Amino acid sequence: MSELNHECGVAAIYHLSGDEVSPLCPSQGPREVSRLMPRMLLDVQNRGQLSAGMTSYNPERQQLIDTHRKLGTVNQAFRLNHQGKSESLMRQYAGLAAIGHVRYATCGADDCSYAQPFERHHLQKHKWFSFAFNGQLANYTQLRDRLLAEDDHHLTRATDTEIIMHEISRELSGDRRLPLIDVMRHLATRFDGAYSLALLNAQGEMLVARDPLGIKPMCYAIEGPLFAAASESVALANLGFAASSIRSLEAGEAVTIANNQISVERFSDNPRRAHCFFEWIYFANVASTLDARSVYLSRKTLGEELARLEDLDIDQDAIVVPVPDTSKAAADAMAFKLGVPSIEGLIRNRYSGRTFIEGGGDRKKKAATKYTPLPEVLAGRRVLLVEDSIVRSTTMRVLISKIREVGRAKEIHVRVACPPITAPCFYGIDMSTISELFAPEFLKEGQSAEEWFAAMAAELGADSLRFLPVESIAKAVDKPAEQLCQACLTGDYPTPCGQKLYDIAIENYRSSSGNETQRTYEAVS
């Protein structure tokens, strides 16, 4: 079984019935509000480029809810570059409500059956539903084994998305007609991990929920008869929602729409918060605001922290060069504080995607074709190369080599706007074993941070390497450290199953001398 890895984008939109018409709706009218879904998904495309899809609800259609999903980007999945074919899709899936999803590389990467939303047909309308999910269940294996142990159950995919589908179905089984908020209350007692999800059923009921710890982001807005939600606020802002109406869904909170009424309710009373810091560092669109904190301002503060801790003698040959695009805000802020130019010495191919979240293939080859160094900028310079994070070091190795050989830089000093990543993530980021991470191999007992950084710099071929301390993250995100999930930095996981998986990962790493052949989930039974 391949390990589960998710970092996806979720979106939802609903036009409530009535005489009022929202100015944000397409000209075709409220019953075709689903036309806005591809546009919303384009704004969260940064979260996944492998597949895209949507489910719409139309009470006047034979297929009350209907799902379209394809491998590829949003443009490819919805044929946006072909007006006739795109228009045909929009007419076919027209509805007054829709949910959507973009996905990045996970198990089953080349199989469209892994694309979301997942739709489950049923004769009874309240049991016929579709849902889209961002996150990862750390107790996936336990949930899977329990399902398979009962009766003659069978699972067709190695994914927690299918587990969630069956768990929702169990809550709807028999003669019970639970409100969707109660379904979430029950599921929350069984799920260990991260999940933001959107659900739509054949009765026209919608649920948008965020996990009790708030690990994964979810934003929503209501203006007049129009409701919309997305993993990031930028998708709502670009629809035309006023900034004052866009809110982050609180941890353990859900929005439900039933009987033409919108309700925002809590389904979990867990007081702990564990927002994923990596959202502000890397994943989220720089134009987004998550949990009342601007992504841009967070990255700007990280750059100021880099400048405050810089110990390199700055001379007229020094320049700051960001690794496009996610490190630019940090690089510009660092350069401003240091009083040196921030220059685009690396040009990124805008059509190459994001190496960290691309599906399949060789990351090294993708990184090599992704950036072009400019010798006109770099030659003879002392380059302060600013990166948002180093996970596997694939991109950084390629960049240093190209900047030195093609760019002819005199010196390369790497500055990382993040602490070293030393532990796997079991909540939805594609780094699941210790051996695939760059930093742990060089961490020796009793050594100083300077010695650790020097060993990594030598391996990368850099003249020096500096990371931010863990304390800088809470400062940049403007939240207490205890309200953040920083498990991949500290090894302190916010859920019991996450901590258990880390213990297994450490044992696998030690017993294999850093060459794990087995994924962490495969070791759990």
Inter-axis angle of helices 328-338 and 295-309, to 10 degrees? 40
Q: Among 487, 417, 419, which Cα is nearest to 194's?
A: 487
Per DSSP, helices labelled H in 189-327 are 234-237, 278, 295-309
Count other Cβ atoms within 10 Å, centred on residue 513: 8
Q: Among 422, 423, 417, which Cα is nearest to 468's?
A: 417
Q: Among 340, 339, 341, 320, which Cα is nearest to 331's?
A: 320
Beta bridge partner(s), residue 393? none
219: Cα within 13 Å, side-chain hemisphere: 26
C-alpha span between 377 and 317 (Å, rounded): 11
On whether the CB atoms of residues 381 and 434 are closer than 8 A, the answer is no
Work out the angle at residue 266's Cα, subtended by the Cα atoms of residues 6 and 8, and round it to the nearest 5 degrees.
Answer: 15
Element (H, E) at 474: helix 471-477
Distances (CA, A) of 330 to 144, 249, 302, 399: 42, 27, 6, 18
Q: Give the pairing type, strands 464-467 and 411-416.
A: parallel
C-alpha span between 203 and 205 (Å, rounded): 6
Q: Percentages helix, strand, coil for the chain, rounded to the nearest 5? A: 35, 20, 45
On whether the CB atoms of residues 74 and 38 are closer than 8 A, the answer is yes
Q: Among 332, 298, 323, which Cα is nearest to 472's?
A: 298
Scan for tokens 């509805």, then name that residue. 95
Q: Among 370, 353, 360, 295, which Cα is nearest to 328's?
A: 295
On whether the CB atoms of residues 399 and 346 are closer than 8 A, the answer is yes
Q: Among 115, 118, 148, which Cα is nearest to 49's?
A: 115
Catalytic residue among 8, 219, 425, 497: 8
497 is an active site residue: no
C-alpha span between 519 and 512 (Å, rounded): 12
Q: Which residues have a catalytic role annotated?
A: 8
